[in-house]
Amino acid sequence: MKRAVLIFLLLLSVFSTGVAVRRYVFQMQQSSYLEKELPFTLESALEYRLTRILYETGSLPAYDPLVEAPAGINRRETYTVGAEYLYAALAHGLPGSWSLAFRVRWISLLWFCVGLVAMACWVRQLSGSWHGGAAAGFLYAVCAAAVVRSTGQELSHENFALPLLLIHLACSAWSRRSEGWHAWVATVLSAVFLAGAAATWDMIQFYLYLWMLGYAAASIRGSLYAEKPEFMRWLIHVWALVAAGTWVPYMRVHAGLTSPLMWLAAAVALVGMPGWSRMAVLNRKWIRMVLLVLIPGAAWWWVGDGYDAAYGHFGELLAAKIHFLNRKPLDPALLTFSQRILWTPALNSATWRLTLALFPVTLPLSLAAAFSLIRCPGACRKSEAFQLVFWFGTSLIAYVLFVRFHVFAAVFSAALIGCWLGASRRFGALYRWMVMAVVCAGIALEATATLRHAGRWGRSGVEYLELDKLLGWLGKGEADGRVVLANFGVSASVAAYAGCPIVLHPKFETEEARSRVEQYGECLFKGNEKTFRDWANQFGVEYYIHSRGEFSSQSPERQMRYFVNALNPPPDAAARLFEFEPAELRWFRPIWENRKYRVFRMVTEQDEQRSLQLGRQAYEWLCSGSLDRAEECATEALKLFLDNEQAQQVLLHAASLREQNVHFQSDE
């Protein structure tokens, strides 16, 4: 009983530490915006909007008419199964005096910190030591790489999926160290949580590929089929992934069942089928290797179009990074549109400065731990030690190419260091105390570095005060729920807080979304005002929000003009007029602005045609001598389209005629 209480207090300490560190960092993020709560931005704003709808109505619509207007989107096919249901359900249990955003941020934070407890339990199962488990949990609780995106400032699918992944890892390790029905219960739980993680965040596929490659390597050696319980555990996980790929609409649309991962799983299962595995020809390693490459390759060539359409743009980016040695070229013409627009945060290449900020201590400690476990894998099974080192090494390489993968590097580095401490007990008291001192010092230094630079971990590039003023103006009914065109960095907030239908949104896993963003940039920077108006008109746009600063000399590679290969747009480019000469615009009328944003009322094609019709009607009234009606009609025409020359002439002539009448009456 005493041991159970101590373990509970230890896990509670890990959980509380994670909560405290993240709340402190969030307070520093909030300090730059003291007037109100920080608004959610980008995809986070859309997730919060869905949470609010679910909280207020109890259900979510299958189709969302506000996103990608005018047609809208199929919500279940566009977004992964998110945390909205958990957030909305738990929000009802928190004090009603708290704002919904405040409650959701707390729920998101607390749920992520459940993953800290799962981390400690996973490493405890791997190393057999609660010292190692506690070290991994505390390190994951305070290291900047794990804290930076999990404070609750923004909602993200990764913060919901990572605890599920860690629970899967803990249950998987538990199943290998249990017997009888306990082992199978742990296996089923592990499979369910793995499928849940895969259904809630696309990038869990990175772990799945690493996980599947490990089993493929075991099948080549023949060890996978020699251990029947391990093979059965693997099959249960695969069937759980198949069930998720069949049941979840997002995974179906994104070709989850026909991905290279699933074809590799099919190849591993086929080669390991009873009877097949006893065939003499399959007892040769090179034959198994050929089959494990040939079967997925042939299937991918035959039915891989759906997966390539969903995720092929990431392959394009990887190819570009390899070709240019992970350095973004200054000339945008050397890249495709997908490569240019994706090669931005958080898919930028890592730098030494960023690496030292995210991994000031964990990186050297992880390298030392990896070396120790490879040389003396005493903390866990040899295969698990090699697997953990492989996962860490691969995630570190992925992080160098794509900064977003720091989340996986943080997970596996913490586990490595914890297992290193767990293994130290096998090599004498002196070595154990030395490792414990180093790890404890590392945790303290990581916490210090995270807290010292807490203010820098917020989302960069967002001017919250100006954004809040814009959303406040729109929310007062000025836009009145009409279609708004804005860049994808702003439009999500417009939909979430102002309730306006938007044309663009920051979800690039659909061809339609990527195509719209590309056309938007092309028309804005390469086309003239008329070209831009005609493109926007097809979506029913009535308001355009221009984000000022598109011609800034700072970081041009992060601006839309770089994305569309127009660093020096032509003199008549629409963007130049929106930025520098708004008064010269013909089809866009400026109606509101602040330091960052400028809102235009767009003259639609229907407005223009109606204005021309009213201009002709005004001319007819003028010819018939009805000056009042002519002036009224011409004024209405100019309200719709200020450059209606016929209406302008009618008003001039009407004014002239009135002046002549006044002079005539005066002479009499």
Question: Given a cut of 70, is residue 275 above it in pLDDT?
Answer: no
Residues 333/337/342/344 CA torsion (nearest 10 deg): 40
- Kindly report, residue by residue over 360-376, the tens digit of the pLDDT: 999 999 999 988 888 77
CA atoms within 13 A on the CB side of 430: 0
Q: What is the mean pLDDT of residues 163-173?
A: 95
Kindly tell me if the per-residue pLDDT of 238 is higher than 90.
yes
pTM comes to 0.91
Does residue 435 or residue 119 have the better pLDDT?
119
Ranked by mean pLDDT, which of 191-195, 250-254, 463-467 comes out on top? 191-195
| 618 vs 89, more confident | 89
Q: Residue 588 above 50 pLDDT?
A: yes
Position 281 confidence tier, pLDDT thresholds 50, 70, 90: low
pLDDT, tens digit (0-9, with 9 covering 90-100), for 21-41: 999 999 888 876 766 788 898
CB 415 within 8 A of CB 119: yes
**Which letter does DSSP use for residue 425 in this model?**
G
Separate counts of helices (H) and strands (E) for the chain: 31, 6
Amino acid, res. 514? R
Mean pLDDT across the chain, nearest whole number?
A: 85
> CB atoms < 10 A from the CB of 378, how many?
18
Lowest mean pLDDT among 202-206, 380-384, 444-448: 380-384
* pLDDT for 654: 66
Q: What is the pLDDT of residue 345?
A: 80
**427/416: higher pLDDT:** 416
- Tens of pLDDT, residue by residue over 470-493, are 998 888 776 777 899 999 889 999
Flag whether pLDDT at 409 surpasses 80: yes
pLDDT per residue as tens digits for the range 43-56: 899 999 999 999 99
Q: Does 570 sit behind a cis peptide bond, omega within 30 degrees of 0 on the bond before it?
A: no
Report whether pLDDT(289) > 70.
Answer: no
CB 185 within 8 A of CB 59: no
Q: What is the pLDDT of residue 664?
A: 43
Q: Is 459 exposed, middle or buried (0-12, 13-18, 19+ CB in 10 A)?
A: middle
Distance of alpha carbon 428 from alpha carbon 592, whole angstroms: 72
pLDDT at position 510 is 76
The mean pLDDT value for 271-278 works out to 59
**Contact by Cβ (8 Å): 187, 175:** yes
Which residues lie below 8 Å from residue 110, measured CB to CB, with a gap of 6+?
Answer: 19
Asked if residue 108 lies in contact with residue 379, where contact means CB atoms within 8 angstroms, the answer is no
Condensed to tens digits (0 to 9), the pLDDT of residues 534-587 reads 999 999 999 999 999 888 877 788 889 999 999 999 999 999 999 999 988 988
Task: Say if CB 615 and CB 563 are below 8 A apart.
Answer: no
What is Dmax (Cα atoms) for the chain? Answer: 122
Share of residues in the chain with pLDDT > 90 (%): 43
